[in-house]
Structure 1
Amino acid sequence: MNPLTDLPSTRAAGCPFDPPPELAAIREEAPIRRFRFPDGHLGWLVTGHELARAVAADHTRFSSRYELMHYPLADLGPMPPAPVGDLTGIDAPEHTRYRKLLAGKFTVRRMNQLAERVEEITAEHLDAMGRLGPPADLVSAFAQPVPALVICELLGVPYADRETFQRHAVALSGIGATVEEQSAAFGALQDYLRRLVEAKRATPGDDVLGDLAGSDLSDEELAGIGAFLLGAGLDTTANMIALGAFALFTWPEQVEALLADPARGVEELLRYLTIAHTGARSAVEDVELGGVRIAAGESVALSMQAANRDPARFADPDRLDLRREATGHLAFGHGVHQCLGQQLARIELRIALPALFRRLPDLRLAVPAAEVPMRDGMDVYGVHRLPVRWG
């Protein structure tokens, strides 16, 4: 079997919520097969749910270190090591140390304690949308500022700094920002987080950075973890809120199911949309998997969007059904690198999306669906803007 030379990335016309159709054909032919990465590296592509889960769970034979792997979406040249504080691109024992320190800050109990603030922030932005009236861009008016302010709560950003912090954070997402503006925003946030860490050392608060100020983490590590949590928690949740709303505009009959059982409905949206669509690992030793031999040093691309549409795991997987029991999906990854903030993301989605449709039951697109600008070719899929109207 000849290796794939391109990872399918073009979605079918009129189907912005479905993975590229070629992925289903590839998965049916072989859930793991040879794939030539954009930089020329000959590795593997996994599209089956069972195999993707197995690779993600195997942290002894597969590495997450950026410098050991090849990037599956574009030729970026040799990958540098992960920045300090970035849990995604490191292995044990460094990853274990960070994860243990952070795990207690993201328990279900603590995230539930944040729920009241999420409800308040959500209501404030729906009030503001109501005062301004239609039309509106749901991304800039709602989907971005809600998780941005929740991140402020989590990190302990003082109220006086939140507007500036949020502006820089949103610029990092690239929506309406040039590369230069993104770079400037990143630098400004790094500087701000370093100052915030110094303030937390002097006066710890009841927030993640305040809690960690008494640990053995250095100032550089604390600031890096703050930047990591910001990057991991803002762009993904903002795009899930916006893309989830877009999907519900397309299938309005599903709104009732979401309102009846937000927890179940959100899990199905996570599975169906899989916005963090492609991951990667690198084999550190020879591995037998799915009937093939992966040699040490070979990279493996994990198509989470194909895995979450695998009919071997989910019946009728290409149908959005918010009454489905969608547990076992890989939208948050799997194994030791499974998303640290997944419980916070769930709380935000379970509150924000139902509140949006309860408050504005006639909310709808203000432009034809084909005119909504999609985030094609990006690590996190979603929409750049979502023009809406109501009333």
Structure 2
Amino acid sequence: MNPASPVEPLHTVTTLPTARRPGCPFDPPAELLDAHRHGPISRYSFPDGHQGWLVTGYDLVRAVLADTRFSSRKELMLHHPLIDYSGVEVPPAAPGEFLLMDEPQHGRYRKPLVGKFTVRRMRQLTERVEQITADHLDAMEEAGPPTDLVTAFATPIPAIMICELLGVPYEDRGAFQEQVVSFMNGETSDEDLFAAYTATQQYLAELVAAKRANPTDDVLSDLTDSDLTDEELQGMSLILLAAGLDTTANMLALGTFALLRNPDQLAGLRADPALADQAVEELLRYLSVAKTFMRTALEDVELGGQTIEAGTALILSYSTANRDAERFPDPHVLDLGRRAGGHLAFGHGIHQCLGQQLARVEMRVAFPALVNRFPTLRLAVPADEVGLRPETADIHGVKSLPVTWDI
């Protein structure tokens, strides 16, 4: 679809749908899919009365992400898609939190990290990912079935990797992981969330100071040899944590759930480990665990035949963009043989996920290793009893994934 093609008639959405249909934990909410059927862009009425836009089509979402006339600056995100924040003043992003910044501030923080997350460097970490994966599969086998795959497998692998990249001491990793997970799971009470967030920030501040005093072989220590302040390094570390742990952990758990619900695809992956690369890309497209992002127009922009006025907020739906039939034939079918390159699961443009290559390495190793170590792996509860994370959580996934296998 041409990003400039007109959309008639214009559809209006008054409530951002978040609930998944019963029995359809992998599909976007039905109302979002319905909005997309009306066209790739719809009017959206924010809870505070602001008239913005909901962008659901692949070409238009990609166009916005690549267009610097649409801003990511936190202080311009004045309208929340689900909550009326009227009268609330939104502060600028904290130093180092570059995902919520535009150029040139964004580039100042991202540039020093680019060389740390190249394809080549991440592939060099494959052996370490294989060892961590094998260790957790050994522990699962020794403990025996059933187990919760989220805590036994999906979360520890990316957690250990991001801790090692940041140089978190081994003895601190358990408590540190608990703190981080508690403020990312979408279920923590406001009081506990604030406490966990504050504790994580305090720990990161102490970690930065320790690395500056005694550098070790890790990304954070490398960054201390720059003009970045301790506060900036702390903010950058928090972004790396959020991007490197929660997304991959939920991809591993929800991806395994999807494979177990599609046994023909699971059998194909088990029979042909070389399929792992394509399988990961298709699972990323199909699940789109990072569901929506927002942008604000800095000036009047023509998009999809509509004029987006300066100051207007846009909600970008990654989940529907990656299910756009004009870009991906039979988009609601999980097909590990599909060439799913070009999906938007990692975003696009200057804010495209910095850690995407590490996430790919972790998934390319973990999925085949899991399904081949446990050929009879299956759900330990009926599929409709698998609890999903609350839809208010930024990242889609499961709370737990009870699985079992034959001994």
State if a TM-score over 0.5 links the two structures.
Answer: yes
Which amino acid is the alignment partner of residue 403 of structure 2? V
Per-residue displacement from partner, 1:310-358 (whole Å, max 9, x unpaired)? Answer: 0110111110000100011110111001111111111111111111111
User: Which of 66, 76, 79 in structure 2 is aligned with 1:68?
Assistant: 76
| Number of matched pairs | 390
Which amino acid is the alignment partner of residue 27 of structure 1? H
**Residue 180 of structure 1 aligns with which residue?**
191
Partner of 1:261, secondary structure, is helix
User: Cα gap change, 1:295/1:177 in structure 2, threshold over 3 Å: closer, same or farther?
Assistant: closer
Q: Is the 8 A contact 1:257 1:265 kept in 2?
A: no
Which amino acid is the alignment partner of residue 31 of structure 1? P
1:84 positional shift: 2.4
Partner of 1:3, secondary structure, is strand
TM-score (norm 1): 0.96
71-80 or 193-202, which deviates more: 71-80
Q: Is the 8 A contact 2:54 2:314 kept in 1?
A: yes
Q: Is the 8 A contact 2:11 2:39 kept in 1?
A: no
Which amino acid is the alignment partner of residue 104 of structure 1? G
How far apart, in 2, do the equivalents of 1:24 and 1:162 lie?
Answer: 40
294-303 or 253-262, which deviates more: 253-262
1:194 positional shift: 1.3
User: Which of 290, 299, 302 in structure 2 is aligned with 1:276?
Assistant: 290
**Residue 364 of structure 2 aligns with which residue?**
350
**Residue 226 of structure 1 aligns with which residue?**
237
TM-score (norm 2): 0.92
**Residue 3 of structure 1 aligns with which residue?**
12
How far apart, in 2, do the equivalents of 1:163 and 1:376 lie?
Answer: 24
Which amino acid is the alignment partner of residue 74 of structure 1? I
Partner of 1:280, secondary structure, is strand
How far apart, in 1, do the equivalents of 2:231 and 2:253 lie?
Answer: 33
Which amino acid is the alignment partner of residue 65 of structure 1? R
Q: Report the RMSD for the aligned CA atoms in angstroms.
A: 1.6
Asked if residue 95 in structure 1 is aligned to residue 118 in structure 2, the reply is no
How far apart, in 2, do the equivalents of 1:253 and 1:3 lie?
Answer: 39
**Residue 124 of structure 1 aligns with which residue?**
135
How far apart, in 2, do the equivalents of 1:12 and 1:175 lie?
Answer: 19
> After superposition, where does 1:1-391 map in structure 2 within 5 Å?
1=10, 3-59=12-68, 61-69=69-77, 70-77=79-86, 78=88, 79-174=90-185, 177-258=188-269, 259-377=273-391, 378-391=393-406
* Identical residues among aligned pairs (%): 60
1:173 positional shift: 2.9
Partner of 2:13, secondary structure, is coil
Q: Is the 8 A contact 2:290 2:394 kept in 1?
A: yes
Per-residue displacement from partner, 1:248-269 (whole Å, max 9, x unpaired)? Answer: 1100111233334111100000
Q: Is the 8 A contact 1:72 1:280 kept in 2?
A: no
Q: Is the 8 A contact 1:148 1:169 kept in 2?
A: no
Which amino acid is the alignment partner of residue 71 of structure 2? S
How far apart, in 2, do the equivalents of 1:125 and 1:178 lie?
Answer: 30
Q: Is the 8 A contact 1:273 1:305 kept in 2?
A: yes
How far apart, in 2, do the equivalents of 1:105 and 1:282 lie?
Answer: 30
1:171 positional shift: 2.3
Which amino acid is the alignment partner of residue 92 of structure 1? E
1:177 positional shift: 4.8
